[in-house]
Amino acid sequence: MPEQATPSYDEKVQELAELKRKAAIAEKEVKNQLKIRKVAEVDPTSKGIINTYTGWAAAAGLLMGLPVVSGAGITAIQIRMLDQLAQRFGQNFTENEARNTLLAVTGGLAPAMFAGAPVTAMAAAIPVLGPLAALVAGPALAAVSTRIVGRLFVEHFERGGKVSDLDVAKAKQDYEAGLKKEAEQHAAGGNAGTT
């Protein structure tokens, strides 16, 4: 039997380096595909529900000068959105359960709503640009919040979850991360807000 040549140490190191390089490329491709799939995974019906209520929330955000009315209106809109999304996934919940869950997840939005009134009033006092900035701030915050809440619950419902078994701490972190990401994209001039 002829003897087979065994690879030298340097050849093995080169082979290993090449395998690691190929694995890194494959891992990067998989991660990119997962990102693309995650964006594309919101089914058209759920996306339509989220978009409809995002529009309603933006309209309610015009009442930013009246933070109690605006906050209550946006919460009611988000509860109605959750109701339709839950029905889409065959889930049921009580209004109190939804309200408490929403308040726990979006707890950071309430102070922003209440802080929005003085900030909006001060911004409105700036000639020409002030009223435009004040007009845009409230609806944008309400729309972004509603869109993020919708996405969070669609993902939760798709995994078979219910409103009652939502990991509120994780959802709150995801919500806050979503707000931060949208703000960064907006600041960078990106197209934030696609569902």
Max intra-chain CA distance, the chain? 93
116-to-14, 55, 60, 104 alpha-carbon distances in Å:
60, 19, 13, 20
Q: CA-CA distance, 5 to 21, in Å (whole number)?
A: 25
Judgement on whether residues 35 and 49 belong to the same structural domain of the protein? no
C-alpha closest to that of 103 among 78, 80, 84, 81: 78
Q: CA-CA distance, 84 to 49, in Å (whole number)?
A: 7
195 lies in some domain = no
The pLDDT assigned to 114 comes to 40
The pLDDT assigned to 110 comes to 46
Q: CA-CA distance, 77 to 60, in Å (whole number)?
A: 9
The pLDDT assigned to 99 comes to 86
Judgement on whether residues 171 and 154 belong to the same structural domain of the protein? yes
Backbone dihedral region for residue 110 (phi beyond 0: left; psi -120 to 50: alpha; all else: beta) = alpha
The pLDDT assigned to 8 comes to 87
Q: CB of 147 within 8 A of CB of 195? A: yes
The pLDDT assigned to 108 comes to 47
180 lies in some domain = yes
141 lies in some domain = yes
Q: CB of 94 within 8 A of CB of 83? A: no
The pLDDT assigned to 36 comes to 60
> pLDDT of the chain along its 195 residues, tens only?
556 667 788 888 998 899 899 988 988 888 777 766 565 556 889 999 999 999 998 888 776 555 555 677 888 899 999 999 999 998 888 888 888 888 889 874 544 444 444 444 544 454 444 444 444 567 788 888 899 999 999 989 988 888 888 899 999 999 988 888 887 777 676 555 555
Judgement on whether residues 113 and 68 belong to the same structural domain of the protein? yes
Q: What share of the chain is helix, strand, coil (3-state, %, to 5)?
A: 80, 0, 20
Judgement on whether residues 19 and 60 belong to the same structural domain of the protein? no
Which residue range forms the structural domain that includes residue 26?
11-40
